[in-house]
A and B are shown apart, each in its own frame.
Chain A
Amino acid sequence: MGAVVPPRVDGSARRPPNYRKVLVISSAGAIAGACLIALAYTGPEVAQPGLSAALACWVTLPYIIAGLIAWRRRPDSRLGMLMVTAGFATFINFLVWSSNDLLYTLGVAAQFLPPVLFLHVFLAFPSGRLESTLDRAVVLAAYGAAALTVPVIVLDADDPRDVLAAVDLPAVADFMHKLQLVLVSAMSLAGIALLIRRRRRSGRPLRASLGLLVDSFSLGLLMIAGLLLAGLFGWTSVQGPLRLATFAVIGTAPIVFLAVLLQARLGRASAAQLLEELGVNPGPAELQDAVARALRDPSAKLAYWVAEFDAYADVDGRQMDPQLGPGRSVTPISQDGRQVALLLHDSGLDDDPRLLSSVAAATGMAIQNAQLQVELRARLEDLRGSRIRILQAEQRERRRLERDLHDGAQQRLVALSLELGKLGYQLSRTSEMRARLDAANAEVSAALAELRDLAHGIHPVAVSDYGLGVALESLATRAPVPVQVVGATEGRLPEPVELAAFYLVSESLANVAKHARATSAVVELKQEATTLIVEVRDDGVGGATTEHGAGLRGLADRVEALGGRMQVWSPVGEGTRVRAEIACGQ
C-alpha cells in the first residue's frame, strides 16, 4: 500500500459557469465576430476585406465557442476559460484595423498577446494547469516579453496614430520591439521542446490518435515562431503565405482540444453503462475488461486486495505488487467504505478525475463476486505453491541423501573391496585364505550393488547429471520386456520436470513388469511449446487405475504439483496407457 498514492482530485469541485455568464460571453463573442467583419470592411489599411474578415474570425471565434463549451462541460479543467481569454485577446489585436486611433493603439498594445496565449493553451492542455516549473517559467517569460509592448508604444513617437506616444526614442523602441520578437519566438520554440519532452515521458496509449493530433499542434508554435522571425528579419515574401498557414493551424486547435475534452465525457457516459453491461456477478477478468473498455485504457488492471494473504492479487489470484511505473496511476476502489481493490491505469486519465471516480464507484458496486473468486484463486495458487515447495524440499533431501551415500558408504566400501582384492591377489589361487578373502570380497560387492540400487532409488542421479535421454535408455534396457523409446526433449528441461517424467516412466515400466503381462511397451516423449508430454503404453491385460496403485497416485500428485495433469487409460484386455502433460516453461 505504501507505494501507492491516491489520485489527485482537486479542481473537480470547480463549478461550471452559470447561464448568465454563458449568455454574456456568447453575446460578447457574437459582437466580436460582427465587429471583425465591420473592421475589415471599414479599416483604412485592410487589403482584402473578405479574406481578412474570414481569417480573423477563424482564429478568434473557435477559441471563444470551444472554450465556452469546454468550460461548461469540463469545469474541472481551466482550459475552457483560457481558450475564451485567448479568443478575446486575439479579437483585441484585430482592433489595429480600426480607423479610431484609441482602438488602434489598444490593438497594437495587444499584439503579442495572441501568440503567448496560444503557447499557454498548448502547454496547459488538457488540465488547464501548467504542470511543471519549466512550463510555468516559459509561459511567464513569454508574458513578460508581451508586456514590453507598453514601453514600446510609449517610446515610439514615430507612429502618428499612437495616442500613447510620449517620449521620442525610436531607436530604443525599435530595439525593444526586436527583442520582443526574439523572446516570444524563442519561448514558442522552448514550448515545442517541452511538448516533445512531455510526450516522451508519458507515451499515452490512451486516446492515442487524438493525442497525436494534439501534439501536432506544436507545429502551430513552430509556425508562430517562424512568423515572428520573418517579421524580425523582414522576409516579406514568405510572410503572406506563412500567415495564412499559421492562422489555419491555430484556428483548428480549439476544435481538436474540445473534441479530446468531450471524449472523456463520452467515457463518463460509458462508465454509467458499465454497471448495466456487467450484469450480475461479473468474474474477475470480465470486470477488468469492462473497466478497461469504460476507461478506453487497454492497460487498465485491477489489483484485488486479498486480506487473508495481506497482499494484492491479479485476476488469476496470483500475488502482485502494485508498484507504479512511469506513466501509471492508481485509483482506489471501495465497497461499503472499505477499500477492496486498486485500479491501475494510464496517468493520462488523471486529467479526468470525474471519469475515474464514476468508474471506480461502478466497479466498487459490482466487485463482490469477482473479489470472492480472486480470493479463492489466490488460495489455490498458495496451495499449488506449497505443493511445489514440498516437492522441491523432498527432492533436495533426496539429492543430499544420495550424495552422502556416494561420498560416504559407497567410497569406503569400494576402498575396502580394493584392499581385500589386493590381499587376495598376493596369495596363491589355491590357498584357503585366498578363498576366504574372495568370499568376503564377493559379500562387499553384493553390498555395493544393493547400495547402488538404494542410492538410485533415492535419487536417480543420471537424470540430473545427464538428462532424460540417458536415464530413460537405462530404464528401457533393464525392463523385462522390450521397450522402445520414441522421441526426445529439445535439450535439457528443468530438473523437477525431468524427474517427474523419469519417475512416471520408471513406475509405469515397473507396473508393466509386475501386473500387465505385456510383451512389449513404448515410451514416447513429445515437447510441444512449453509442455512435455510423456506417454507409456503396453500391450498387457489393462485394468490399472490411479485409485488402486499408490504408485500411480503419487505420480499424479507429483505431476499436478508441477501444474501438469496425468491420465491413465486401462480398459481390461486392451493394455495400459499412462500419459502426463507437464508444464516445462522456463
Chain B
Amino acid sequence: MRAVIAEDSVLLREGVSRLLAESGIEVVATCESADELMVLLPAEKPDVVIVDIRLPPSYTDEGMRAALTIRARHPGVGVLVLSQYVEVGLAMQLLADSADGAGYLLKDRVSNVKDFIDALHRVAAGGSAIDPVIVSALIAKQRNRDPLSRLTPREREVLALMAEGRSNQGIADEFAITLRAVEKYVSSIFSKLDMPSTAGDSKRVLAVLLYLRG
C-alpha cells in the first residue's frame, strides 16, 4: 500500500511516517502544505492520503479543501483527514454523497496503532472511517427518541461501529462474536429503525450517519 502524508508538524509527520513504515505501509512522500500535496499527488499515485485539516499558509481550511478536491478529482485515492477537533458538519461535508474512501479522525487516534492502521487500510480500500466522537455524539442526541430508544445496548454498540465504517467482520472481531451473530444484529437494527438494508459498508455508513443526524 502506498501512502502520502501532508502534515505541517515535523514531530507528527515523522511519527506517523515511522508508524506506517513499521506497519508495512510504504510512505511514498510527505509534505507540509496542501499546495505541495496537490502537486505531488498525480506523480506518486498513492492508495491513500493522510492530510492534516489545518495546513499553511492560513492554517484554517486548507487541508479540508485539499481533501474535497482529491475526492472529486482522484476518486481512486482514499483520503483520511486528521484534526485536533471534529465537527459533525465537517464530516457531512467531507462525505457529501458518498463515504467511499473517506476518513475523518481525531489526531489522538494515532495512539491506538491497531485501530489506526485498520482505519487506514479501510479508507485505502474504498471504505470509510468516521471518528467515534462524532458517532457517539449523534447517537447520544437520538438516544431517548423513538425508534433509537428501542435498540438494545448491544445493538446500539453495533450501530456505532457501523457508523464508524467497520465491516461486519471488523465488528465480529471487536466483540469476539461470530459473523452470523453480527449479521443478525445488523438486520434487526435496520428493521427496528425502518431503514432499507444497504449493500456495501460505506453506503451503510452514510445511510446511518444521515439517519442519526436527523
By a beta-carbon cutoff of 8 Å, the part of chain A in contact with chain B is 403, 406-407, 410-412, 414-415, 417-422, 424-425, 441, 444-445, 448-449, 452, 455-456, 461-462, 464-466, 469-471, 473-474, 477-479, 482
24 inter-chain pairs at a CB distance below 8 angstroms, sorted by A residue, are A406-B54, A411-B9, A414-B12, A414-B84, A414-B107, A414-B108, A417-B108, A418-B15, A418-B19, A421-B110, A421-B111, A422-B22, A422-B113, A445-B108, A445-B111, A452-B84, A462-B90, A465-B60, A465-B61, A466-B61, A471-B87, A473-B88, A474-B88, A482-B141
Q: Does more than half of chain B's interface fall in helix, strand or loop, or is it mixed?
A: helix
Distance in angstroms between the alpha carbons of A445 and B108 in the assembled complex: 7
B109-146 Cβ-contact flags toward A at 8 Å (1 or 0): 01111100000000000000000000001100100010
Chain A residues near B178 (CB-CB < 8 A): none
Interchain nearest-CB distance for A301 vs B (Å): 41
From A417, A455, A456, name the one whose CB has the most chain B CB atoms within 10 angstroms: A417
The 4 closest A-B pairs by CB, nearest first: A470-B89, A417-B111, A421-B111, A425-B113
Chain B residues near A461 (CB-CB < 8 A): 85
Interface pair B88/A477, CB less than 8 Å apart = yes
Distance in angstroms between the alpha carbons of A464 and B12 in the assembled complex: 24
Other-chain residue from B15, B18, B84, B108 in contact with A406 (beta carbon distance below 8 A): B84
Other-chain residue from B12, B61, B137 in contact with A415 (beta carbon distance below 8 A): B12
Interface residues of B in 5-32 (CB under 8 A from A): 9, 11-12, 15-16, 18-19, 22
Interchain nearest-CB distance for A29 vs B (Å): 82
**Contact A415 B89, CB 8 Å, known A445-B111, A448-B108, A477-B137:** no
Residue of B nearest to A456 (CB): B85
Distance in angstroms between the alpha carbons of A97 and B84 in the assembled complex: 105
Chain A residues near B87 (CB-CB < 8 A): 462, 466, 470-471, 473-474
By a beta-carbon cutoff of 8 Å, the part of chain B in contact with chain A is 9, 11-12, 15-16, 18-19, 22, 54, 59-61, 64, 84-85, 87-90, 93, 107-108, 110-114, 137-138, 141, 145
Distance in angstroms between the alpha carbons of A471 and B89 in the assembled complex: 8
Interface pair A414/B110, CB less than 8 Å apart = yes
Distance in angstroms between the alpha carbons of A406 and B138 in the assembled complex: 25
Distance in angstroms between the alpha carbons of A352 and B88 in the assembled complex: 70
Distance in angstroms between the alpha carbons of A422 and B111 in the assembled complex: 7
Distance in angstroms between the alpha carbons of A456 and B133 in the assembled complex: 15
Interface pair A403/B89, CB less than 8 Å apart = no
Q: Does more than half of chain A's interface fall in helix, strand or loop, or is it mixed?
A: helix
Other-chain residue from A410, A418, A422 in contact with B84 (beta carbon distance below 8 A): A410
Chain B residues near A415 (CB-CB < 8 A): 9, 11-12, 15
Chain A residues near B88 (CB-CB < 8 A): 473-474, 477
Chain A residues near B59 (CB-CB < 8 A): 403
Other-chain residue from A414, A420, A421, A470 in contact with B93 (beta carbon distance below 8 A): A470
Residue of B nearest to A472 (CB): B89
Interchain nearest-CB distance for A54 vs B (Å): 83
Interchain nearest-CB distance for B54 vs A (Å): 7
**Contact A421 B85, CB 8 Å, known A411-B12, A465-B60, A482-B141:** no
From A418, A422, A471, A473, name the one whose CB has the most chain B CB atoms within 10 angstroms: A418
**Contact A418 B12, CB 8 Å, known A465-B61, A466-B89:** yes
Chain B residues near A424 (CB-CB < 8 A): 113
Interchain nearest-CB distance for B74 vs A (Å): 23
Chain A residues near B64 (CB-CB < 8 A): 466
Residue of A nearest to B108 (CB): A448
Interchain nearest-CB distance for B145 vs A (Å): 7
Interchain nearest-CB distance for B176 vs A (Å): 13
Interchain nearest-CB distance for B6 vs A (Å): 15
Distance in angstroms between the alpha carbons of A469 and B141 in the assembled complex: 18
Other-chain residue from A418, A456, A479, A482 in contact with B110 (beta carbon distance below 8 A): A418
Other-chain residue from A406, A422, A478 in contact with B137 (beta carbon distance below 8 A): A478
Interface pair A464/B137, CB less than 8 Å apart = no
Apart from the given pairs A412-B11, A466-B89, 20 other A-B contacts in the complex at a CB distance below 8 Å: A410-B84, A411-B12, A414-B12, A415-B9, A415-B15, A417-B111, A418-B12, A418-B110, A421-B112, A425-B114, A462-B85, A465-B54, A469-B89, A470-B89, A471-B87, A473-B87, A473-B89, A474-B88, A474-B89, A477-B141
